[in-house]
Amino acid sequence: MNTFDSLRSLSMSGLVLILLFTSSISYSAKIIFDLGEVLLHQRGIRSYSHIISIVGPLNIAKYYYNNKSLIAAYYRIFQFGDIVLKQDCRNAWFAGQITNQELIAIISENIYKEEYSSFFKNKSERNLIATGIYLLLPENILKITNLDQEGFKIVKKCAELGHELFILSNWDAVSIELIKNKFPELFNLFKPENVIISGHHKKAKPDLQAFKIVIKDNNPSDYYFIDDLQENIDAANSLGINGILHKDWKSTMKLLSHLF
């Protein structure tokens, strides 16, 4: 073997080693998770039993009989708050502009005033909102919030694969600290600086500034954002982030399969 053949053999060996080395390294992505209805949920027997204990079974039964839906009651709380506060009540709460107690006090003080009577569809709706507002106390939010076990397993797998993980969630500053203490197994998988909560940073999704806190000056296309609300996905997409509308983990994982 001459000198040229020796060099070529060494070069080929080096190339093989490089290919073997690089093939053993998995692609590291940046994945942003929402919390509510993605990694945490407020469903299940324990949650429902606590909701009933606060609101009262008679209020719930009367409201459902008259309105045929319970989910809508949650949004009606904030719609009423919008009228009283003359601003987006829910986002003001998430962004830390008003506290849980202030929000509850404002609605409680005004809900039975005659000037607002036309807002309510019927008496049962007014009564349900008057009691349901107390579910927004941090200690009650804590009791009705549960860990999504499937989501937790996926976050754990992402961490094992070396993906950089973030949380971007609209949550009030007081309740989220209780939630962190309740589910350390989840939050320990994220670097503290990668947990971006609206109540701490005073920016709530879909405000683009909330997303910019996460991506900083990095390339937005490097990030994947998982959220259950279309308006938040639309905001993320407008910045060039890969938004994934979460309906269930089976469909979400199909869209993320190339990362695993």
Query: Are residues 51 and 137 located together in one domain of the fold?
Result: yes
Would you say residue 18 lies in a domain?
no
Query: Are residues 230 and 132 located together in one domain of the fold?
Result: no
Structural domain range at position 93 = 45-143
Residues present in the chain in total: 260
- Name the pairing type of β-strands 40-41 and 195-197: unpaired
The residue out of 115, 143, 171 marking a domain boundary is 143
Q: Is the peptide bond before 220 cis (omega within 30 degrees of 0)?
A: no
State the pLDDT at residue 99. 95
CATH code for position 189? 3.40.50.1000
State the pLDDT at residue 15. 46
The residue out of 94, 115, 143 marking a domain boundary is 143
Q: Is-contact 155 246, C-beta < 8 A?
A: no
Low-confidence stretches of the chain (pLDDT < 50) are 3-4, 6-10, 12-13, 15-25
State the pLDDT at residue 71. 80
The residue out of 101, 119, 143 marking a domain boundary is 143
Helix axes 208-215, 230-238, angle to 10 degrees: 60
pLDDT in tens, 151-194: 999 999 999 999 999 999 999 999 999 999 999 999 999 999 99
State the pLDDT at residue 2. 54
Query: Are residues 132 and 49 located together in one domain of the fold?
Result: yes
Of 243, 224, 227, nearest to 29 by C-alpha is 224
Tokens 């060039």, residue? 240
Of 39, 32, 30, nearest to 233 by C-alpha is 32
Say what the pTM is: 0.87
Encoded amino acid at 235, one letter: A
Domain count, the chain: 2
Tokens 């994982």, residue? 253
CA distances in angstroms from 173 to 32, 78, 180, 199, listed in the order given: 19, 18, 11, 4
Would you say residue 169 lies in a domain?
yes
State the pLDDT at residue 24. 38
State the pLDDT at residue 183. 98
Query: Are residues 130 and 52 located together in one domain of the fold?
Result: yes
Q: What is the token pair recorded at 134?
A: 């107390």
- Name the pairing type of β-strands 223-227 and 242-245: parallel
